Amino acid sequence: MNSFMNALYTAENAMVTGRKNGFPFLGYITKTRMKRGDDISVTIAYDVDTMKELNDAGDIINGSVLFAGGNSVYTNLHVYF
């Protein structure tokens, strides 16, 4: 997990794929920020097709959720460094 978080912290413009509430999405990391403790907050901007489908421009996802591959909202998460 440590090497994943180190790579994630410097992963601006990396591609992220997965599903949000069952809908597939494609997004890009635009910003990372250290959180209190051992986690990283990642801001993701969705591509145009995903923005239309989800009616949302982006989201903030914790690095621990990306590492785990999902939670109750996101599933099948992958980060392409």
* pLDDT averaged over 10-residue windows placed end to end, the chain, 81 residues: 95 97 96 94 96 93 98 97 94
Beta bridge partners of 29: 44
pLDDT given for residue 45 in this prediction? 98
Q: Which two tokens stand for residue 74?
A: 């996101």
What are the sequence ranges of the domains in the chain?
2-80
What residues does 76 pair with on adjacent strands? none
Q: What is the pLDDT of residue 29?
A: 98
Q: Where are the alpha helices (DSSP H) in 1-81?
A: 2-9, 48-54, 63-68
pLDDT at position 19: 97
* pTM beyond 0.85, yes or no: yes
Q: Class of 2-80 per CATH?
A: mainly beta
Angle at 68 between CA 75 and CA 37, to 5 degrees: 125
Burial of 51 (0-12, 13-18, 19+ CB in 10 A): middle
